[in-house]
Amino acid sequence: MKRIGLLTSGGDCQALNATMRGVVKGLSANLTELEVYGFMNGYKGLIYGDYRLLTSRDFSGILTKGGTILGSSRQPFKLMREPDEKGLDKVEAMKQNYYKLRLDCLVILGGNGTQKTANLLREEGLNIIHLPKTIDNDIYGTDMTFGFYSAVNIATEAIDCIHTTAASHNRVFIVEVMGHKVGWLTLYSGIAGGADIILIPEIPYDIRRVVEAIDRRTKAGKGFTVIAVAEGAISKEDAKLSKKEYRKKIEAQKYPSVAYELAEQIKAANGPEVRITVPGHTQRGGSPCPYDRVLSTRIGVTAAKMILDEEYGYMVGIVNGKMKKVPLAEVSGKLKMVSPKDSIIQEAKLMGISFGD
């Protein structure tokens, strides 16, 4: 008999269900006795003992279903060692619920914050496997996270739709793409959608360079400009501020997000009309794309094999097209950032895309 737990934590995305399906199908095909417990709403379910025994019926027909059948929540890693409002030791509670169900392994699907807590539980002696989920593709140790390409498809479609109206009215359109700390999603969707300017957190922008890029297009007879901007994009001036100073500025400013500040700066430079589009949480929703269905299935099945072989304490990554066991201790807490020196940045610049630098 094998007993495993499953939980999905942090922001939701496409292919969470497909990944869990891969884990369970991989185990069911090779075990005669299996019990699968799903913890509801992420770590909250593990802390407070909110779980249910899942059956094969729960994993039927979910390959194409977005979101997560287990629900999710954000439980900040920095608060995990702090008791809750009733004085409950959250880490100890998670351990006790794990032992209560006599689990052989806990499979945790989530991004960077989720991974930190997964590693904490590993350090506490639990058998843990982490599966890398995020639309940001910022998890260190894997070339790709499931959910990323599905989000790229949605963000790209938004940029595609903007092109026709931008061209019709000779306007500047700003499309704000998700990504607070890293710019992979904006970079990929910006290139795929034919954006003229791409602004990402890793490359602070100079508003003068942005305006110059717009002017060059106008002088070349192209009356419109499409800008893809990550929600975490930052100007060179703001990048010089300390974290405390920048936080204070953000709290005091009147702009809902970076796109609105950027629009006002362009208008102040006597630029053309500017319109803003924010796809928002549509980028997390809908059915996973075929690539993500395949990737998540491979990740899930690899996790199943690791459970069968009793190999724990790893993240399942994909490197150069092959599935890889990555020690949690080596990657926990690390972000995979876009480097200004990455070849994809240089290639984009060669074709005339401006990064505002």
Active site residues: 136
Determine contact, residues 303/312, Cβ cutoff 8 Å: no
User: Which of 135, 245, 249 shows the shortest CA–CA distance to 181?
Assistant: 135
The C-alpha atoms of residue 41 and residue 26 are separated, in whole angstroms, by 24
User: Which of 186, 166, 165 shows the shortest CA–CA distance to 177?
Assistant: 186
Helix orientation angle between 184-192 and 148-169, rounded to the nearest 10 degrees: 50
- Structure-token pair, residue 105: 């392994």
- Structure-token pair, residue 304: 């199943």
Element (H, E) at 250: helix 243-252
Any idea of the CA torsion for 236, 239, 241, 247, to the nearest 10 degrees?
120
The C-alpha atoms of residue 73 and residue 131 are separated, in whole angstroms, by 16
- Cα atoms found within 13 Å of the Cα of residue 209, Cβ hemisphere only: 16
